Amino acid sequence: MPFTRFEGDLESGNVPNFVWLSPDQCDDMHGVSTQNAQFLNNPDCAFPASGLDHSIIKLGDNFLRQIVNEITESRVWRTQKSALVVMWDENDYTSANGCCHSPIGVNGNVLGGSNAPAMVLTSRDPQHFVDSTTPYNHYSLLATIEQLWGFGCLENACGFSKSQLMTKFFV
């Protein structure tokens, strides 16, 4: 769904307790085929056959900058205890070691990335906190959400110890 009402919802305070935002394929730094980029009228979104193209990364950077600014400048951010998690699903393609319950796919390929950045911003804690020793990925984020909200666990988010969860960023 497009973000046509997102800014207004932030300012009015009409935002659920939990929101998951995922950019489209042009803004997620993956890109699309040249044919699909033409259909979308966005040639910068085409992922070239030759490999990584920095114009796709720039699209993602611009989208992220816009969304983070909208959130952190909103009434909701200023008046409520909020957290914003920005997590990449891949790195710069220098490794694919995975971590944290990463599943093994076809031909033994590890799914879940390796050394990809993750950031947590909170509206109430001005302290700068860095954890560069504990690896995290989508499964550790999912396990943390499940634990904080009292849900059961889904497949690869099961079996995390408390020290493997990201709760220290939120509580």
pLDDT tens for each residue of 50-93: 666 677 888 889 999 999 999 999 988 888 888 899 988 766 66
**pLDDT tens across 122-139, in order?**
887 777 777 888 888 888
Which has the minimum average pLDDT: 29-38, 65-74, 145-154? Answer: 29-38
This prediction has a pTM of: 0.79
Mean predicted confidence (pLDDT) in 141-159: 91
| Bridge-based pairing state of the strands 118-122 and 83-87 | antiparallel
- The phi, psi pair for 85, rounded to 5°, reads -110, 125
Q: Return the higher-pLDDT residue of 85 and 29.
A: 85
Most confident of 17-21, 30-34, 147-151: 147-151
Report the C-alpha gap between 25 and 56 in whole angstroms.
10
